[in-house]
Structure formats: structure tokens, C-alpha cells
Amino acid sequence: MRGYGMKAVEQPAWLEKPKPKAGPFDAIIKPKIVAPCSSDTHVMHGGSSPRENLILGHEAVGEVAEVGEKVTKFKKGDFVVVPCTTPDWNEPGVQCSVSNAHDAGLMRSFKFLTQKDGVFAEFFHVNNADANLALLPEGVSPEAALMTVDMMSTGFHGVELANVEFGDSVAVIGIGPVGLMAVAGAALKGAGCLIAVGTRKASIEVAKAYGATDIISYKDGDIVKQITDITGGGVKRTIIAGGNAETFAQAVQMTLPMGTISSVNFFDIKDTLSMPAAVWGLGMSNKDIRCGFCPGGRVRIEHLLQLIKHGRIDPTKIITHKFYGFDKIEEAFHLMDSKTPDLIKPIVYID
């Protein structure tokens, strides 16, 4: 079968691979709609440990093509939503941890891209299908469902890690698709002042629609100063969903004592995250620093789908570009990489 991915770092390419096989608990899925993610482009550029001969992609909804003999909840032909994080639920990491992202070690529940080929293929493999697939509920469009598998789950995780409470002042650094979902999630959780940091015109409009009260640009000078000026001192919760190695110290500095800094950002493998001790109150500020990876699994996705079904959020506002046809994955991937001002999230209809 064909798939789009990378021959090596900085070498995106179409690849020919054998069709994956389902073990007894697994499913093989034929993707119907896929979306490229910033994490796919980071991997192609070598921002994590180097990969070779790998099909990229980890965001998909699709049709079940085949199930293993132990799968009981899904059958051939079902339309399913596939979390990008698909834990092996037998591993101790998921049985004793609050997060399901690290089943057998750091980020080991993220199987696509790290341990096997991704979803930009004619077919892809999902482990533990009964616990990792979700049916598309009535009243939710496939496009909206596609936005739950990573963008909503990750952006909302930033909000969960930040412990946003009613009336809290919140800053969201970065308003690409992940940060925009964090803005929407923070508004749902009752943020008061909600400041978003970003410059792309398309993103600014959507941030306002999702409830941002103020927008600032990192291109207009120090974001710490801009945020302390708006709030008269700083914010209670800061969520990092974009930026560079310097963003981390800025986030700690703009956060009030007893506040929380959360990060769902992908820092580059070459980055060093340094921070002057003074901005962390010499270690005595009670500022919590928390970070996390996109939670996955069936129940997580079912919960997010309920928010869409009942009109709490419309994640399709972040979809700015639609492509039609399997071969268009390449163009959509390069668009995601180039981050034009009108881009938030592209999707590709496979048929």
C-alpha cells in the first residue's frame, strides 16, 4: 500500500509499505478524513529523535476494514474516531498513573510515529481496538470528530493541567489549533480575563470567537510586560501551546505566586529550557509547573464528542483548508509546515 511520510529527516516522500495486519485485539482502519499536525512536521524536520522510512500522520477518522478475533465492540464497516494516543491498557503506566499517555514509558502510548506507521496511508493499524476506538455519535460531524483526536484532547489537557477555576485570569501562549482549543477549553472552565498570544489573522478571529478577551503579539515586544500591563501584575494560570525555548521562562514570570504554568508544547530536542530563579520566586513561589501529552483512549474521545454533540463547542472553526483526494495529503502536509497567515488547520478527505 502507499503512504505519505519521510524517508529520513528532511526527506518527506511517498512510501510503499506492506498493508498492516491486525492482532487478536487490534483493528485495521481505512482513513476517511485525516489532518496533518505540527507534530508531524516537527518529526519530519528531526525535532525529536530521528526517524526513517516512516509513514506520518496521527489524526484520522475512518472505517473499520478488519478486526482481530478478540475485538467485541467494533466490526467491519463501522465509522470510527481514532485517538492519536492509543494506550496499551495492560501496561502498568496506565493502570497506576493519572495520565494515559505513558503506558510503558515516556509517551509510549503515542504509537503512531514513534513505534509504527501513521495514518497517512491506505490502511493503518490500531492496537487495543475496543479500548481505543470511539463510534461517531449521531449529531457530530466527521470533521468535528476529527478535531477531538489530538487538537481538542491536547488543548483541553493544557486547561486541565492549569487547573483553571471560575474567574481565573488565564494566558494562552500560542494560538495555532492547539492553543485555540485551550482558549475554548479555558472559557468553558470559567476563565475571567483570557489573554491569547499570537499573530496569525485567522487565529486571532477564532480566538475571539472562542472567548479570548485580549489578544497580544509576541512581535510587539515582551509578552510578560504586555500581560502584566493588562492584568496589573500577572495571570493565575498560563498555558503554553507554542513558542520557543524562551517561552518557558516568560510563562513562569507572567504567572502569579500560587498560580499554575501548564505546557502541552513540543519543545525541540535541541532546546534547553532555562529560567532565572528570581522569576520562580527563588523556588519558593508555589508556582506549579506542569506539562503533559495528549490523553487518548475511547472514553476520553467519547467525552469530547459529547461536548460537541451538546453544542458546548464547535471545533470546526479551526479548519481553514479542505483538500480532496488521497494524493492531496502531500500538499496539506507542506501547507501545515509553511504556516501561512490564513492557515489554522487543514484536513484531507481521502475519497
Q: Tell me if 350 contacts ligand NDP by CB under 6 A.
A: no
Pick between residue 66 and residue 103 the one whose CB is nearest to ligand NDP.
103
* Region of residue 265 (left: phi > 0; alpha: psi -120 to 50; beta: else): beta
Q: Tell me if 39 contacts Zn ion by CB under 5 A.
A: yes
Pick between residue 199 and residue 285 the one whose CB is nearest to ligand NDP.
199
Site size for ligand NDP (CB under 6 A): 30
Q: What is the DSSP string of 272-340?
A: -----GGGGGGGTS--EEEE-----SHHHHHHHHHHHHTTS--GGGGEEEEEESGGGHHHHHHHHHH--
Burial category of 303 from C-beta neighbours within 10 Å (exposed 0-12, middle 13-18, buried 19 and up):
middle
From candidates 244, 286, 306, 340, binder to ligand NDP by CB under 6 A: 244
Site map 1..30 versus ligand NDP, x via CB under 6 A: ------------------------------
Stretch that binds ligand NDP, among 21-29, 74-82, 137-145, 199-207 (CB under 6 A): 199-207
| C-alpha to C-alpha distances, 295 to 14, 197, 205, 323, nearest whole angstrom | 29, 24, 27, 27
Q: How far is the CB of 154 from Zn ion (least distance, A)?
A: 7
Beta-strand pair 27-34/60-67: antiparallel
Pick between residue 40 and residue 66 the one whose CB is nearest to ligand NDP.
40
Q: Tell me if 347 contacts Zn ion by CB under 5 A.
A: no
Q: Tell me if 315 contacts ligand NDP by CB under 6 A.
A: no
From candidates 66, 150, 160, 168, binder to Zn ion by CB under 5 A: 150
Q: How far is the CB of 110 from ligand NDP (least distance, A)?
A: 8
- Positions that interact with Zn ion (CB under 5 A): 37, 39, 150
